[in-house]
Amino acid sequence: MKVIKRLIKLTIFSAFLIILSTSGIYLYAKMNTKIEINKNNSYYLYDISDEVFFEGNGTSEWVNLNEISNYLKTATITIEDKNFYNHHGFNILRIIKAALNNLKSKSYKEGASTITQQLAKNLFLDFDKTWKRKIEEVWYTIQIESNYSKDNILEGYLNCINYGHGMYGIENASEFYFNKSAKDLTLAEAAMLVSIPKSPSNYSPLVNETKAKERQTYILNTMLKNNVISKDEYNDAINEKLTYYAKKDKLNLNTIMYYQDAVLKELESMDYTIKTHLENGGIKVYTTLDLKAQESLENSIKQNITNNDEIQVSGIIMNSNSGAILGLVGGRDYNKSEYNRALSAKRQVGSIMKPFLYYNALENGFTASTSFLSQETTFKVGNDTYAPKNYNNLYPNKAISMASAIAFSDNIYAIKTHLFLGSESLVNIAKRVGINTELNNIVSLPLGTVELNPLEITNAYATLASLGVKHKPYFIEKITDISGNVLYEHKDTSEVVLNKSTTFILNELLKGTYDYNMIDYAYPTNISISSLLTHDYGIKSGSTDTDNWIIGFNQDIVSSIWIGYDDNKEMTSDDFKYSKKIWANAVENYLKDKEEINWYSVPENVVGVIVDPITGNLATNESTHKKILYYVKGTEPSYTQEVFDEYVGVVGEEEQNINKEEIKE
């Protein structure tokens, strides 16, 4: 009996301590500086013309609780937190139940957040599932519950949650979907809107009306079971046909959400002073967004991909002289997939890796005329062999110049160059131009067997476009508080990493990928879009079984397009047609009506020479092909060019030994 009495006393004492400590925490929170829930996270995003393209939790659309339909309020509480008015921020029984169910299913599918917790997350936190974030959520929840009434909390929640398509807050959402104020929503409309925040990319009626209707029906059923609506109200709402005012193709609603996410990601990396202003009044963010660039990308994607719902895309237009991102697309439809491939995906890059190999070659004594024999070849690498193939198994079976190798994307020439220089040298060049992904020192590296991020490889090409100046890509030019006081300004961190003259020569060679003068045993890789181009560009495309790329630039912009499937499914022959046309249409449309678009001026120490671009020899009257190629003065070709195969071991009719000092696996 004594043991039982002690246990009872201990239990009572423990409960008393818990109550006392909990009360103390809530009292401390109440005495602490009161946090604002009707202004926090108010941010305004401006494009390069200083026009607002997004308002996050803006006070201009804030509505009082008594100006919101009772149907909407009731539906929200019923489906999100039916004990909202009876707890102090946390539903302990719900937390325990969710934890048990998650343990049983070995997942984290079931949540137990109250409306107050969700408000705390939306206003102050990201959605990472870390212990630090969970502890912060608990503290913010306690602060909110200690300082505001339940009606204040519900009002804050309904004015800040995401209803899809960039619509934050119930008034914005009501006007967007139904062209009416939140106070005028019918039960059917209210239930439809309440269905969206759980997963805007799945339950928006503009994305999938069938799924949205199923969730609306579930919400109405739940309301009926909880006796908050009558059977007649339920039947009327189920049978009400809803008409949506919103247009799916509005530029400011659907096509810049990927860009907006990129801005917010950069904003999250800012120091605490920016976040402090965000939490206490709001900020104005002046971005690098050029709506014409964004619109050019989006329209070109829509026009060129019309009959394949699964294939995905990344698109970027960047100012190569500063690193400013002018337009960015992370997928075909943000409302169906919020995954931002431009920022987060890593894909095999294929032959778009080759220009960095050829810059390295030019820097180490090669010229546009340097020749290798290109034929079907098996390379002996240490104790192993490697047999790369040209596209469609098409080989010139003769010595070709670097100019030809670039135009036709010849794999044999690339591997011979790579082995000649030593495979480590390409890794070093990649680091110089801004590729931060760790690259393996392997023989197949110039053929793009590495996976890189679209923004990362685009920025590397920007180093070529700026004639060797490396910039850090960015989305935010300036941040001010609501009164206009400057909190942050972007600072140039550019660095010269490549030789200007050498880069100019390479950029000229990249024009050969769409040049009719290069047609010989094969067509240049980008000849199919030559007729679409009205300006000069350095262009390189690349393909693997699962990925298709094109990146091109002039002295002002660099643009990339990636096409592929999220599950790495192999692409069909039809799939490979998309990227080049998307790129050409987007870039040409963006540059249309620009006042001055010039190619690069020839550096003083560089000379242009008329040569046969296939062989690299000086052109003669009998030459079939004639083209001006560029050389550092003193390295111009003679009538007979040396072919460098004696330096590279191959397994062919006559096996040769590789100089192992030149090859580092």
Q: Which of 80, 155, 189, 508 is catalytic?
A: 80
Backbone angles phi, psi at 135, to 5 degrees: -65, -40
Catalytic residue among 113, 195, 204, 351: 351
Classify residue 323 as left (phi > 0), alpha (psi -120 to 50) or beta.
Answer: left
Q: Which residues of 592-624 are buried (b: 16+ CB within 10 A; e: fewer)?
A: eeeeeeeebeebeebbebebbbbbbbbbeeebe
CB 475 within 8 Å of CB 325: yes
Could you write out the DSSP letters of every residue in 162-203? B-STT-BSHHHHHHHHHSS-GGG--HHHHHHHHHSTT-HHHH
Cα dist from 421 to 431, 433, 612, 643, whole Å = 16, 18, 25, 15
| Strand duo 43-46 + 283-287: pairing | parallel
- Is 80 annotated in the active site? yes
Q: Which whole-number Å values give the CA distances from 111 to 39, 197, 597, in the listed order?
A: 27, 14, 55
Rg (CA), the chain: 31
> In 495-606, which ranges are continuous DSSP H helix?
500-510, 578-591
Query: CA 374 → CA 5, 378, 417, 444, 565, distances in Å?
Result: 92, 11, 11, 16, 33
What secondary structure, in 3-state letters, does 196-254 show?
CCCCHHHHCCCCCHHHHHHHHHHHHHHHHHCCCCCHHHHHHHHHCCCCCCCCCCCHHHH
Residue 557 pairs in a beta bridge with 319
Concatenating the DSSP letter of every residue in 429-472 gives HHHHTT--SPPP--TTGGGT-SEE-HHHHHHHHHHHHTTSEE--
Quick one: which of 189, 164, 197 has its CA closest to 71?
189
User: Where is 401: in which H helix or E strand?
Assistant: strand 398-401
351 an active-site residue? yes
H or E element that contains 141: helix 131-147
| Cα gap 275→126, rounded to integer Å | 12
Q: Concatenated DSSP letters for 274-336?
A: HHHHHHTT-EEEEE---HHHHHHHHHHHHHH--S-SS-EEEEEEEETTT-BEEEEE-SS-TTT
What does the DSSP assignment read for 586-611? HHHHHHTT-S----PPPPTTEEEEEE
Residues involved in catalysis: 80, 351
